[in-house]
């Protein structure tokens, strides 16, 4: 039983360890080459397909939002019919 208690004492020490078990490769120089290259593509699209999709989605939502706001303002400006 004492052995189980001693083993239980080591569990929190192992799970809260700050030591890194594997090294992560530094990809910053690769990304610097990609984003600093002068190829005529805007920086917000240089990330590839995902950047293009996110850009188009954001622009679509923005256009839809502006259109909806204009519709709501127009509806609020029109007087309601009296019965």
**Domain tally for the chain?**
1
Domain assignment present for residue 18? The answer is no
Could you tell me the pTM of the whole model?
0.59
Per-residue pLDDT of the chain (83 residues; tens, 9 = 90+): 767 767 767 666 655 656 667 889 999 999 999 999 999 999 989 989 999 999 999 999 999 999 999 999 999 999 888 87
pLDDT at position 20: 62
Domain assignment present for residue 17? The answer is no
Domain assignment present for residue 8? The answer is no
Domain assignment present for residue 22? The answer is no
Domain assignment present for residue 9? The answer is no
Domain assignment present for residue 24? The answer is no
Q: Which helix (H) or strand (E) holds 5?
A: helix 2-15
pLDDT at position 23: 87
Domain assignment present for residue 56? The answer is yes
Question: Residue 81 in 3-state DSSP?
Answer: coil
- Written as six digits, the tokens of 32 are 């610097």
Cβ-based neighbours of 55, under 8 Å, separated by 6 or more: 44, 45
Domain assignment present for residue 67? The answer is yes
Domain carrying residue 68: 45-77
pLDDT at position 80: 84
């Amino acid at each position: 039983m004492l052995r189980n208690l001693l083993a239980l004492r080591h569990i929190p020490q192992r799970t809260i360890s700050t030591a890194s078990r594997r090294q992560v490769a530094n990809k910053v120089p690769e990304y610097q080459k990609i984003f600093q290259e002068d190829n005529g593509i805007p920086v917000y699209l240089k990330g590839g397909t995902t950047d293009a999709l996110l850009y188009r989605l954001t622009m679509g939502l923005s256009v839809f939002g502006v259109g909806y706001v204009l519709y709501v303002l127009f509806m609020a400006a029109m007087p309601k019919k009296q019965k």
